[in-house]
Amino acid sequence: MRSDQGNLRPMQLALGLFLVTVTLWAAYSLLSVLIPLRPFSSRGKAARSFGLSVLAILATGIALGLAVSSPQAAGGAGPEPRPARTAAAETADDPPPPCGGGAPGDVVAVTGSHELRAAPGADAPRIRNEKASRALGTDHFHRIDSSTTVRRLCRQDEWTEVRIVTPDWLSDVGGWVPTAALRQIGRTEDDDRLYVEEDFHWDTDTAPFKPQVVTVVNRIARENRNCREIDTASVAKSPSRSGPGDPVFFVTCGSGMEAFNIWFRPSDADGAEGFAAKAPLAKGAAVAACEAAARRAAVHPSTVDFSRILDLAYIPHASGRARVVSTFTARTALNLELTYRIDCLFDGPELIETHIAERLE
């Protein structure tokens, strides 16, 4: 034990000395922000140096704290082993037993549109949608339809208790529906969902192309690894991309912040072009392209100082897009150094949007 403590002391001393040095440099950098001093050529560079110094101080402090509190150095024992789970704990998370026949627990699709009931029977109270009722000022009730999947909990006579699985923001909603409203979900040999016409909402634009739409959506689900969750209720004709005699449709994949659309034509049902997921531009290439865009926009490109650490954010998306957000300094035509915020949006390797604005301190 003493040997371990002796080995740790030189490391603690080195970390302490480094911490003092970085702290002094941070103080000098902060002073240079107020009063321009060498070697900094601008207040912006001094501020970045101060920020990096603060990060180094935090990291060194954490390392020093870990070294001091090491169980071997303190001579303490390691963490106590977790107690074994009791028989009661093992069964606490088990699903409740079924209340009747059928196959409770499986996820199924829905045919038609049905209101959820508080108990089995057509005369049972409907499940009120509290949020919608408060927002709209009138009574609204929870429904399930062909765009919904539900988990069967139990069955009594001709009624089945279910809980919504998708859409996931309604996963806390459940109730009773007629058993005849539920149907098994088809699966491919690879266990991917097989979509059928009953899974979609059809309108006058999409109904004439039912076979093609179903085929394309199944291709998307099979070929696009980022589109395992498809909102079948979203299928619609795109007014901006369609032309006379050339309808273009879209379907939404994913949910929440990661939702994105895939556009297609009916002819894509038999087309050679696939629907493989598009990879977002890699971080290094995206940052370099965004910095190049900043230089192109500057009056004096050689004065651009692009932040690649402190203010940099790289955000890839399942759609194949990626966003780079950062700041840079540059001198104006009047030789004033200003700080700008830049936002670059990429679709695959292509830079499709660039927004630059002066950042106000």
- pLDDT tens-digit series, residues 330-342: 999 999 999 999 9
Provide the pLDDT for residue 41.
62
pLDDT computed for residue 286 by the predictor = 97
Q: Are residues 263 and 293 in the same domain?
A: no
Residue 353, pLDDT > 70, answer yes
CA-based diameter of the chain, in Å? Answer: 85
CA distance 358 to 330: 10
The last residue of one of the domains, among 230, 246, 269, is 269
The fraction of the chain above a pLDDT of 90, given in percent, is 59
* Structure confidence at residue 36 (pLDDT): 66
Which pLDDT belongs to residue 62?
72
Does residue 86 contact residue 144 with C-beta atoms inside 8 Å?
no
Residues 124, 167: one domain?
yes
Burial tier of 286 (Cβ tally within 10 Å: 0-12, 13-18, 19+):
buried
How do beta strands 149-156 and 107-110 pair? antiparallel
Residues 259 and 330 in one domain: no
Question: From CA 211, how far away is CA 195, in angstroms rounded?
Answer: 11
pLDDT category, 197, cuts 50, 70, 90? very high
317 belongs to a structural domain: yes
| Confidence label for 360 from pLDDT (cuts 50, 70 and 90) | confident
pLDDT computed for residue 247 by the predictor? 96
The verdict on 144 and 125 lying in the same domain is yes
pLDDT above 70: residue 5: no
Tell me: do 114 and 177 sit in the same domain: yes
pLDDT of residue 83: 38
Assigned domain for 69 exists: yes
Structure tokens at 310: 């402190």
Residue 278 covered by a domain: no
Say yes or no: 250 and 212 in one domain.
Answer: yes
Task: Indicate whether 235 belongs to any domain.
Answer: yes
What domain range includes position 44? 2-74
pLDDT at 17: 75
The residue out of 74, 89, 106 marking a domain boundary is 74
Determine phi and psi for 233, rounding to 5 degrees: -75, -10
CA distance readout (Å), 11 to 16, 18, 59, 64, 128: 8, 11, 15, 9, 65
pLDDT digits (tens, 9 = 90+) for 53-103: 777 777 777 767 766 555 444 444 443 443 333 333 332 234 434 564 444
Residues 148 and 225 in one domain: no
pTM of the entire predicted model: 0.61
Residue 180 has pLDDT above 90, yes or no: yes
- Residue 185 sits at φ, ψ, to 5 deg, of -90, 125
Residues 299 and 239 in one domain: no
- Is 87 a domain residue? no
Residues 101 and 176 placed together within one structural domain of the fold: yes
Domain tally, the chain = 4
Give the lowest-confidence range in 22-26, 191-195, 239-243. 22-26
Query: Do 109 and 176 belong to one domain?
Result: yes
Percentage of the chain modeled with pLDDT above 70: 79
The answer to whether position 136 is within a domain reads yes
pLDDT of residue 316: 95
Query: Is residue 321 located within the same domain as residue 343?
Result: yes
Q: Are residues 318 and 346 in the same domain?
A: yes
Mean pLDDT of 222-250: 93
CATH assignment at residue 167: 2.30.30
Mean pLDDT across the chain: 83
Q: What is the mean pLDDT of residues 108-115?
A: 93
Mean pLDDT calculated for residue range 262-267: 95
pLDDT of residue 31: 66
The 10s digit of each residue's pLDDT in 117-165 is 999 999 999 999 999 999 999 999 999 999 899 999 998 889 999 999 9
Establish if 91 belongs to a structural domain.
no
Q: Is residue 86 part of a domain?
A: no
The pLDDT score that the predictor gives to residue 33 is: 62
Let me know if 294 is exposed, middle or buried by CB neighbors in 10 A (0-12, 13-18, 19+): buried
Supply the pLDDT for residue 88. Answer: 32
pLDDT higher than 50, residue 220: yes
Q: Domain boundary at 184, 202, 227, which?
A: 184
